[in-house]
Structure 1
Amino acid sequence: MRATLSLCVLKALDGGATYGYAIASGLEEQGFGTVKGGTLYPLLTRFEAAGWVTASWQAGDGGPGRKYFSLTSAGRRELAEQRELWARFSGTVDRFLGTQGRSTETPDRSTHGNP
């Protein structure tokens, strides 16, 4: 999960400006489990430092304001690059897993590879 969090957070921001809790909730709803603030907010801060997102405070409806994050054009390019890298990686893993267990011979495990 942690290895894909960067890609998934960028994708969550692809739909428009949103705030941290909404990102975490959306990821949880999609089956990624609980993403804690101590993991998410430092990631968003790194994205902001890299120029991939901008952040702005917006007043809340009767409550405290929220910090909204939006993808920049550089962030959209990074998302596209990470998606491509993920596609290549997952394709490699799928091909590898698909070749496992296809042998027509069943190895004799009783000798543990010894003749």
Structure 2
Amino acid sequence: MNTQFKKGVLELVVMMVVAKKDIYGYELVKEVCNIVHVNEGTIYPLLKRMTNESIFETYLQESTEGPPRKYYRITVRGLDVMKEIKREWIEFSNSINKFIEENKEV
């Protein structure tokens, strides 16, 4: 998939995954990769930025398999941001899909 397409939708995908349930980083990477294949190194800086922007909050939870895990939870602000980005994405993708349908011969 085109790298620029991934960049454009990755933030929304990450927010939607976290909105479904609190999740730790590695599990989040696996779930996101089921939708959009990305490098693990791409997700963690995004999580840090989104946490700094109060889209996510974090907490530690003990693990039976090693050290405590950092979990991500979407905030009320994050839900608002996600809804707006989702609305914009749907509007944008509908517009592009309509354009493609109208120009099938090209």
TM-score where L is the length of structure 1 = 0.81
For structure 1, list consecutive stretches of 5 or more residues without a partner in the other structure.
Answer: 104-115
Q: Who is 2:94 aligned against?
A: 91
Q: Who is 1:74 aligned against?
A: 77
Q: How does 1:13-52 map to 2 (within 5 A)?
A: 13-30=18-35, 32-33=36-37, 35-52=38-55
What displacement does 1:78 show? Answer: 0.6
Query: For 2:11 and 2:65, how far apart are their aligned partners in 1?
Result: 32
Q: Who is 1:108 aligned against?
A: none
For structure 2, list consecutive stretches of 5 or more residues without a partner in the other structure.
Answer: 1-5
Q: Deviations over 1:77-103 (max 9, x none)?
A: 011001001001001101100110369
SS of residue paired to 2:21: coil
How many percent of aligned residue pairs carry the same amino acid?
27
Task: Return structure 1 stretches of 4+ with deviation > 4 angstroms.
Answer: none
TM-score where L is the length of structure 2 = 0.87
Q: How does 1:59-70 map to 2 (within 5 A)?
A: 59-70=62-73
